[in-house]
Structures are given as C-alpha cells and as structure tokens.
Amino acid sequence: MDFDDPALMVSGMIISAIGFILFVYGKKVVVPKCLVIGIGLMTLPFVVHSLLWIWLGAGVGLVGLRFAPGD
C-alpha cells in the first residue's frame, strides 16, 4: 500500500473494514461466500495499488456477494 496517497490509504482502510465485517459475519453465521469475499476485500488493498482498481474490485466483490449462489 502506498502511504504517500491519503485517499488510497483511507479507501484501503474502509474496504478492509468492510471485508473484516463480512468475514466475521460469515464465520458467525457460517456463510462461506461471506468468508471468501471478506478475505478478498481484506487483502485487496495490499495487492492492488490503484485507487480506481481497488474500488472496482470492491464493487465486483460486493455485487458477487449479492448474486453468488448460496443462501
């Protein structure tokens, strides 16, 4: 993560927090798709270093959460 860009750092923290909440929810209620997407959102800011791609990846993950087969 680039610590020189405040927008990238704050966006990464927000997306990682959403991923953490999804992970904890998926673990408590035993919903595998929430676990997988939560882990993906938590690790996304560490892998991708572009503000646009982080938000697009988070959007794809959350849309995938809505339309993924399962519960």
Quick one: pLDDT at residue 5? 85
Residue ranges for the chain with pLDDT beneath 50: none
Alpha carbon separation from 30 to 10, 23, 25 (Å, rounded):
29, 10, 8
Distance CA 39, CA 22 (A): 8
Quick one: pLDDT at residue 1? 57
Under 8 Å CB-to-CB from 66, ≥6 apart: which residues?
none
What are the extents of the domains in the chain?
20-67
Alpha carbon separation from 21 to 4, 6, 15, 31, 50 (Å, rounded):
26, 23, 10, 13, 23
